[in-house]
Amino acid sequence: MAIKIAIIGLGYVGLPLARLFATKYPVVGFDINQNRINELNSGIDSTLEINEATLKAVLKPSSSTENGLFCSNTIEDIQDCNYYIVTVPTPVDKNNRPDLSPLYKSSETVGKVLKKGDIVIYESTVYPGVTEEECIPVLERISGLKFNVDFFAGYSPERINPGDKEHTVEKILKVTSGSNPEIGIKVNNLYKSVITAGTHLAPSIKVAEAAKVIENSQRDINIAFVNELAKIFNLLDIDTHAVLEAAGTKWNFLPFKPGLVGGHCIGVDPYYLAQKAQEKGYHPEIILAGRRLNDSMGEYVASQVVKLMIKKGVTINGAQLLMLGITFKENCPDVRNTKIVDVVHALSDYGIQITIYDPWAKPSDVKHEYQLETTTELPKSTFDAIVLGVAHKEFESMDLEILKKSNSVLFDVKGVLKEKADGRL
């Protein structure tokens, strides 16, 4: 039977994957957001992951058997697919507990069109067991079909790095898995046909799920370590970056830097693993200690900025501060789980008036997510303090002197301004 693929969710993960598969297979990209479908069908990707020419090269006007990508929010357009790949987000709630509702809803959608012989592959980051214990029962209930008899499943964790134009989806080795050995081979071969970096077939779905969640947990713990070092070395009046540069001359020293840990993966995934561990009666000490430390960095940055302002004689209450950047990382419009917001809230608690300038972030997205006002135009005022929160390329060549008052403070969260800054992590 000829392969026809449905990609469920056309965000930072789903769209690049859909575009890639569409170069070799007929693909239907499904998303419940009508505005997202409209923009994609016109060749526009507001996430900036796929440029207009590349997207238009694979777009097709209908859900046909020809290779290419058709985007739709109509469930009937995916009913004749035989591979369903779910790429919806997996956030945490306000208490940092995993929120599986997007997975449940997308599983219900797929369940309505699931047929005998179909394969459902999940890419969303989860704790071990979610695919088979949470998602599969939904598919069985809605479809009336029996798992591993009538339909099958796989898990292939996403490794998308938003804003990274070098490590694109086809250039990142892909972990794959299936609900039985035969399906594992089918899933692996499907990805192998488009992933030039190659694939790694894991022995089970749970192994693949666990591999994904520890990738980001490991990074989170390592960043927490250097964040703690930054706090210690600041107390000792030692340049943290100079220390890391010196230590980095050893061949096996890991090159992590201090910073704010946000985004849809590193700042979220450890909570998924911790949740599963706690269900089994184990309290993960190192993982949650790393999370607590990294979650505290917004308050810490704000306190360091305020201390520098006091030393320079700036009146804190009513002071004007310019925040450069609001996205979770540089050169990317993604504002999900950005920790710059923590810095903004902490500074606001001191009575500081904050202007947020970010040429990458859509003000409407920031307003919707955080109820904060932002601008994409550089203000013409001068400020009592400037905080470089995100290392967008536009900021590296910016003349910050014209934005400063005589006693202004310049704080560099990302450590890119070097000797220009009054303080940095």
- Catalytic residue numbers read 265
Alpha helices by DSSP H, listed for 114-204, are 130, 136-143, 181-192
Contact status, residue 58 vs residue 19, Cβ threshold 8 Å: yes
State the residue for tokens 């369903």.
Answer: 84
The neighbouring-strand residues paired with 320 are 353
H or E element, residue 412: strand 404-412
Mark 134-143 as b/e (b = at least 16 C-beta within 10 Å): bbbebbbebb
Mark 243-259 as b/e (b = at least 16 C-beta within 10 Å): bbeeeeeeeeeeebebb
Alpha helices by DSSP H, listed for 22-135, are 34-41, 52-58, 101-113, 130
- DSSP output for 191-231: HHTT-TT-EEE-SSHHHHHHHHHHHHHHHHHHHHHHHHHHH
Q: How far apart are CA 289 and CA 408, in angstroms?
A: 35
Q: Tokens standing for 168?
A: 């694109």
